């Protein structure tokens, strides 16, 4: 996948980027050729890209996942997820999708993996159908903790 080279701020303005976010690939489109004197130079970080496309950054997902896998206290798990949702503007549906992708990389018992993926799919469906994010956040915690207990 190509990495970000240009960002179109509006049809008459183009910013060339000094890219610090090489690990955040996005598809590109060729645009109009503009003289160097008309180009605004900016430094873009990985965090900026994730904020711009409203995707949960990997560090947030890693923090959520490690908390869910290592912390038995449900209140701490809920607090961590809710704090990150508010502070970084994350949607539960995006967290569930990213969490499922990360959990699939783990070497666990089949029962744990099936429990996780089945529950996360149900949660994703309920969130998409308009269910309460607060209740579904609790369901995420319960599902992951149940899988952890099955993996012991």
CATH topology of domain 58-150: Zinc Finger, Delta Prime; domain 3 (1.20.272)
Q: What is the pLDDT of residue 129?
A: 96
Q: In what order do the strands lie in the sheet with 39-44?
A: 6-10, 13-19, 39-44
Q: Range with the lowest mean pLDDT among 8-17, 28-37, 53-62, 81-90?
A: 8-17
SS3 state at 17: strand
**The tokens of 46 are what?**
């990985």
Band the pLDDT of 147: cuts 50, 70, 90: very high
pLDDT at 125 over 60: yes
Beta strands in the chain (DSSP E): 6-10, 13-19, 39-44
Return the H-helix or E-strand segment holding 62.
Answer: helix 58-70
d(C-alpha 108, C-alpha 137), whole Å? 23
- Give pLDDT, residue 112: 96
Angle between helices 58-70 and 92-103 (to 10 degrees): 70
Give the Cα separation of 102 and 61 in Å (integer): 8
**Better-predicted residue by pLDDT, 59 or 22:** 59
Q: Which residues contact 78 (CB under 8 A, 6 or more apart)?
A: 137, 138, 141
Ranges for all domains in the chain classified under CATH 1.20.272.10: 58-150
Return d(Cα 144, Cα 136) in angstroms, integer.
Answer: 12
- Enumerate the β-bridge partners of residue 18: 43
Q: Which of 42-51, 107-116, 121-130, 138-147 has the lowest mean pLDDT?
A: 42-51
Nearest 5°: phi and psi at 139? -65, -35
Q: Which of 5-14, 126-135, 138-147 has the lowest mean pLDDT?
A: 5-14
pLDDT tens digit sequence for 25-38:
444 455 555 555 55
* pLDDT score of 39: 56
Report d(CA 49, CA 21) in Å as an integer.
Answer: 8
* Structure confidence at residue 100 as a pLDDT band (50, 70, 90): very high
Mean pLDDT of 7-23: 46
Work out the widest C-alpha separation in the chain, in whole angstroms: 62
Mean pLDDT for the chain overall: 81
């Amino acid at each position: 996948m190509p990495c970000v080279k240009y960002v179109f701020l509006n049809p008459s303005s183009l910013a060339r980027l000094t890219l610090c976010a090489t690990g955040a690939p996005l598809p590109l489109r060729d645009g109009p050729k503009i003289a160097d004197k008309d180009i605004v130079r900016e430094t873009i970080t990985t965090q900026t890209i994730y904020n711009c496309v409203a995707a949960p950054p990997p560090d947030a997902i890693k923090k959520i996942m490690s908390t869910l896998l290592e912390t038995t206290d449900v209140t701490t798990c809920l607090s961590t997820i809710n704090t990150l949702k508010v502070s970084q503007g994350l949607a539960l549906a995006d967290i569930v999708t990213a969490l499922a992708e990360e959990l699939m990389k783990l070497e666990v018992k089949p029962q744990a993996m099936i429990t996780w993926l089945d529950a996360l799919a149900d949660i994703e469906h309920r969130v998409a159908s308009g269910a309460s994010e607060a209740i579904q956040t609790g369901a995420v915690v319960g599902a992951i903790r149940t899988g952890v207990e099955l993996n012991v």
